Amino acid sequence: MLRISCWSRIFIASSLWLASGVAAVSRVHADPPSDRPVTNVSETVPAVPVDSDRFHLFILAGQSNMAGRGQVTDADRQPHPRVLSLGKDGNWGLAVDPLHFDKPAVVGVGVGRSFALAYAERHPGVTVGLIPCAVGGSSIDTWQPGGYHAQTQSHPWDDMQSRVQHVVGQGVLKGVLWHQGESDSNDSAAAVYEARLKELIERFRSTFEEPQLPFLIGQLGQFAERPWNDARRAVDAAQQRTAQHVARTAFVSSDGLTDKGDLTHFDASSLRTFGVRYAAAMQWIESRVPVKSFPPGDGNPRNSEGDFVRLASGRMLYVYTRFESGTSDHASATLVSRCSDDMAATWSDDDVTVIENEGDMNVMSVSLLRMADGRIALFYLQKNSLTDCRPVVRFSTDEAKTWSEPTKIIPDAQQGYYVLNNDRVIQMSSGRLIVPVALHRSPDQADPDWHGKVGCYYSDDDGIGWKRSESLLIGRSSDGVRVKAQEPGVVERQDGSLLMWVRSDQGTQYQSSSSDGGCTWSSLQPLALSSPLSPASIERIPATGDLVAVWNDHSHRDVPSSVRTPLSLAISKDDGETWSRSIPIAADPTGWYCYTAIDWADDSLLLAYVAGRQGQGRELTASVITQLPLAEIYSRLSIAGN
């Protein structure tokens, strides 16, 4: 029997996913389109959809490799009835190469047509409208109002804007395909390229009043016989950083693509493949759109952190905190649930109360755990006062239909204001339960200690009795100054030890480790996850054994910031010693994202996080669920150079 490792399955799935797009394009090249046959392009009037929502428009912008210089074959002239292109005259026609007209003597195959064929294949019933606007040799400076390109005597930005505005009312503008940077691969232009690229993205979005307009950035050609200079490497790095930290952008790799013999332009075969990669990048952006959001409403100003558990029936249960009297952490709240019967694709419409507000202030911060004995454990904070906030646990033996009475994890003798974040409790391979907490106030303290002390409680009898770590950790900087240590989490390493991570105010997460199941812990040290004072979430990926981290990655910021954006994802293949480059999950520069729960639905990563806007009382408002295909995560990380 052929045995395939979990990692191989992910790799194969990713490869098949990309190959399926190539195959789809090949089928369209080789066979008549399935929608209806088209025999003579010049005599055919294309069908522009009456329903504008079914006409998806894409701008093709940049310089010659977007315009296309590949040799055209008969296959490139084979039209598809649902793939149109805007001609130089401003009229729609069936899309056949060449699409562009910037330099009529040399235009040829580009990325646009193969992108559109792959996109149409994945969007049945949708017609794709390509708007060719690329100008060979244009620098990024010419892509601004009034910018002039002397070689073609054109105004790239102004001409593009005019063409788009002429037709945008006929459909829905869905994205920009950008390939450019060769003309900026000199020291002076490369030094400011990142700033200008970000300005360009914002200009596209503001001009067409589409603040979430996807922007796909194609990588410059990597031709062995023409090594990159420092300036070209700087442009490439700027493009990758932009895709890493600007919302709704993606970087499209040129790995393995070849030139047409001039060491400048991709050949036709590579451009067709490149177009399929652009389509894959577009699919990745589409996959990051939340599948469900629970926004606030009347008498419900905040929906907050939660956690998932899969029931024996296959149903996915999500329990989260519903606040009722205000947005403060101390406002009254209950625990409510939603459920999904289709692996998190859709969710029920109405809240079902799980735990009433049994605390004098509230209940909040849920961790759900499928225990080794089959029971489901529900952990949450029971907040009675500013000196009595402690986690409790209930158990269910009937798949979350009913729950036991709550068991206190922290005894009255150790009463205090403790914080247990959502989705934090784990059961080790030994069976030990670990509850990581931060202590911020004891009854004998006049004021809260928001610098915090962190540790854990553990149970070796399935949650009946609990013990505390021998000591609680205090965070200190390298020069001995006390630093904030809050909202800890834990994960079991492959060797059975525990990794604890802690949010701090030092521009990075902090970490500690335990080799005795949480009884004792090493001193807190910086962890290689740059962040503001904001929580991270780390769990092991069952299919690969790697660790995945979700947090606010601030590694790109030159100046420290407190904002909780972007929400990013990275993978560690060595149990947290090192981490891949991050990819953004949500990256609105005015957004606020935190308190993530991590689970798995088939071959996808399932996330729930709190989303809001920057501003007092607006940061923590909605509970959001999103689902990301695991194969695509690994594919995107590979594309980013991991």
Task: Determine the residue type at 521.
Answer: W
Cis peptide before 448 (omega within 30 of 0): no
Measure the CA–CA gap between 377 and 370, rounded to whole angstroms: 6
146 Cβ partners below 8 Å, 6+ apart?
155, 157, 158
Over residues 141-162, the pLDDT tens digits come to 999 999 999 999 999 999 999 9
Over residues 266-324, the pLDDT tens digits come to 999 999 999 999 999 999 999 888 999 999 999 999 999 999 999 999 999 999 999 99
Over residues 194-250, the pLDDT tens digits come to 999 999 999 999 999 999 999 999 999 999 999 999 999 999 999 999 998 888 999
Q: Is 620 within 8 Å of 592 (Cβ atoms)? A: yes
* CATH level 3 topology of 292-639: Neuraminidase (2.120.10)
Distance (Å) of CA 149 to CA 64, 74, 90, 109, 146 = 13, 32, 21, 22, 10
Range list for CATH 2.120.10.10 in the chain: 292-639
Over residues 81-123, the pLDDT tens digits come to 999 999 999 999 999 999 999 999 999 999 999 999 999 999 9
pLDDT at 36 over 80: no
Confidence of residue 45 (pLDDT cuts 50, 70, 90): low
CATH annotation of 11-287: 3.40.50.1110
Tallying the residues shown for the chain, one arrives at 642
Range list for CATH 3.40.50.1110 in the chain: 11-287
Confidence of residue 617 (pLDDT cuts 50, 70, 90): confident
Measure the CA–CA gap between 233 and 430, rounded to whole angstroms: 49
Q: What pLDDT score was predicted for residue 268?
A: 97
Over residues 586-609, the pLDDT tens digits come to 988 889 999 999 999 989 999 999
Q: What pLDDT score was predicted for residue 554?
A: 95
**Of residues 31 and 519, which shows the higher confidence score?**
519
For the chain, the average pLDDT equals 92
Q: Is 96 within 8 Å of 84 (Cβ atoms)? A: no
Q: What pLDDT score was predicted for residue 44?
A: 62
Exposed e or buried b per residue across 58-97, where buried means at least 16 C-beta atoms within 10 angstroms of its C-beta: bbbbbbbbbbbbbeeeeebebbbbbbbbbeeeeebbbbbb
Three-state SS at 202:
helix
The residue-averaged pLDDT of 568-578 equals 96
pTM as predicted: 0.84
